[in-house]
Structures are given as C-alpha cells and as structure tokens.
Amino acid sequence: MQLVSIALCTYNGEKYLAEQLDTLVGQDYPNLEVVALDDGSKDNTLAILRTYEARYPFFKVYQNEQNLGYIRNFEKAISLCQGELIALADQDDIWELHKISLMVGEIKDNLLLYHNSEFITEEGLSMGRKMSDIRNFYAGNDSRVFLMENCVSGHAMLFKKELVSFFSAFDTNSFHDWWIVYMAACNGSVGFINDCLVKYRQHTQANTNILRLDRGQAKKRNALLQIEKEYKRIQVFEAYAHNNFQSFKSRLLKLTERRMKAYFSFSLFFFMYRHQDKLLFIQKKSKLSKFNFMLKYAWGYKLKQLLA
C-alpha cells in the first residue's frame, strides 16, 4: 500500500487547528504521514502541533528559522514528504475522513487528482455553496486552460511524487496550487472527482478604511498591480522548462509584452477571443461577461497608467 504524505503548513492558526488536525489523523487510510511545517507562529500553533506529534508516530513537526511566506513554506513542506503520493492541507479546513482513501483509489493514471469542496463560514456552518458553483472544473492535459485562471485549490489536490521531479522554483506571482496544477498539466493528465471532500472555511476581513477614503484611486492602483503581476506570471509559465503548447504560450507572452508598452492592445484581445474556449474555460460566466472580461485586455498598460 502506497505511503501518502499530507503536507500541512501553519502560521498563527491556533483557533481552528485542532479541529483540522483531528480530521487529518482520523483518516481511514492506513499508511499515512503528516508533515507539519510551521512558519514561525507567535501563538500556540506550534504547541498544538507538538501535542499531536507526541500522540501519533506518523505526525512530524518542523518549524522554519525565519518566516518564508505560505508559498515558499508549501514548497519546503513538499520537499520533506516521503510518500509516493502527496496531499496538501491548510490549517483551518475540515476534511472528510475518507478523503485520502477515496482519492488514492481514483487517481489512477493521472499525475494529479482534485475534488470539489463545500464552503463553510468561520463558525463552521455550511454556506449552501460549493466550489463547482463558481468555477468550471477541468480534467485533461491541456495546460493552456491554466494560463489565465485556476480551479484547483491546494487542499483539494493529491499528486504523485514523480511530479516533484518536474518542479521548478515556485512562482510567487501566482498561488502555489496554481503553479503545481500547471506543472501537472504540462507533464501528465489532471483528473477530477465531484465529491465534496473538504469543508473550505471562508474568513471575513474587517474593512479598516471606515470612511472608504480614496477608494477610487486605490482601485485603479490595484488594477495596475494586477496587470504587472499577471505579466510576470505569464513570463514564468512561458519559461517553464517542461512546457507543452510552447508556441501558443510564447505568442501569448509576446502579445502581453506589447500590452505593457502600449496604449491599446487589440491584438491581445483578438487572440483571447479566438482562444477563449481554452483561456476562459474555467470562468463560470455568461458569454457577455466573458466578452467584457476580454475587452479589458484591449486597453494597454500605458493607458491604464494615464487614467490611474
């Protein structure tokens, strides 16, 4: 029976951690290791982890000497895993106890498998919605689907250790789960099962800008930052050493580079329009909403700067 590693990353997560840990150590899959990597928590997170380490021989705890941030923390946690299959875990979700056993049985020839998830409130109450309500899920080996959007959450994935041999340094311009599934689609097939195997906790954030001062300008600045970040992400994706559909990605990068130097980028808009079946596959929107989304790419970075 294959060893499955669960890479758990934590940081100041004491509030919900024990509830999550109980669902990890309570998995009905018998050959398991939990690799918990704490990123320098200042609360009782590490003490809670040590309690589980003392109780469960397969529970291993590590702590970084300095804070790495969650992307680099997951990258390091994966490197510590010994299992033939690897799953990722956040510190505040709730797993179904058959999650690992079901996914091990369903991964088959796929390099990575992921599942649906149910949204819950901070208090753990169902929100009556699931991930598939807001995203189209993709299965296959066409990595172009993941160039603009992602539908695979880290907590939902299980991948084979052989995928690690195709890793390059994690791209900090995109989330770690996005980068992992992109690499998986470049090197093998990605599979999906519709079971909701994780209760995905949603957190509310207080709005400290009580009077909402300068909200318009802040929104414009954020739009510029988003364009810059997307450009950097496409650069990294296009440069990935194990790419498939390389000519397509090189063309997308070239058009994106032109957008960064221009007032208008109609060529990028028309490229996206022609290939929207791939680039916008994950978006669960109407045709009109997708058209309006693509239309934003007709405006160049210089024009955005001028209007900011």
Phi, psi of 278 (to 5 degrees): -95, -55
200: exposed, middle or buried (Cβ count in 10 Å: 0-12, 13-18, 19+): buried
CA distances, 289 to each of 150, 193, 283, 293, 298 (Å):
18, 27, 10, 6, 15
* The pLDDT value given to residue 211: 27
10 Å CB burial of residue 14 (0-12, 13-18, 19+) is middle
The residue type at 63? Q
According to the model, what pLDDT value does residue 182 have? Answer: 97
The CA-based angle 152-155-160, given to 5 degrees, is 80
CATH numbers and ranges of domains, the chain? 4-201 (3.90.550.10), 216-307 (no CATH)
DSSP states of 135-166 as a string?
B----BS-GGGGTT-----GGGEEEEGGGGGG
pTM of the model: 0.92
In the prediction, which pLDDT does 173 show? 77
* Token couple for 74: 């997951």
- How much is the pLDDT for 220? 57
Q: What is the pLDDT along the chain (308 residues), one digit of tens a residue?
A: 999 999 999 999 999 999 999 999 999 999 999 999 999 999 999 999 999 999 999 999 999 999 999 999 999 999 999 999 999 999 999 999 999 999 999 999 999 999 999 999 998 899 999 999 999 999 999 999 999 999 999 999 999 999 999 999 888 878 999 999 999 999 999 999 999 999 999 987 533 332 233 444 455 568 888 899 999 999 999 999 999 999 999 999 999 999 999 999 999 999 999 999 999 999 999 999 999 999 999 999 998 888 86
* The one-letter amino acid at 201: R
Q: What is the pLDDT of residue 295?
A: 96
> Can you give the pLDDT at residue 307?
80
Model pLDDT, residue 204: 72
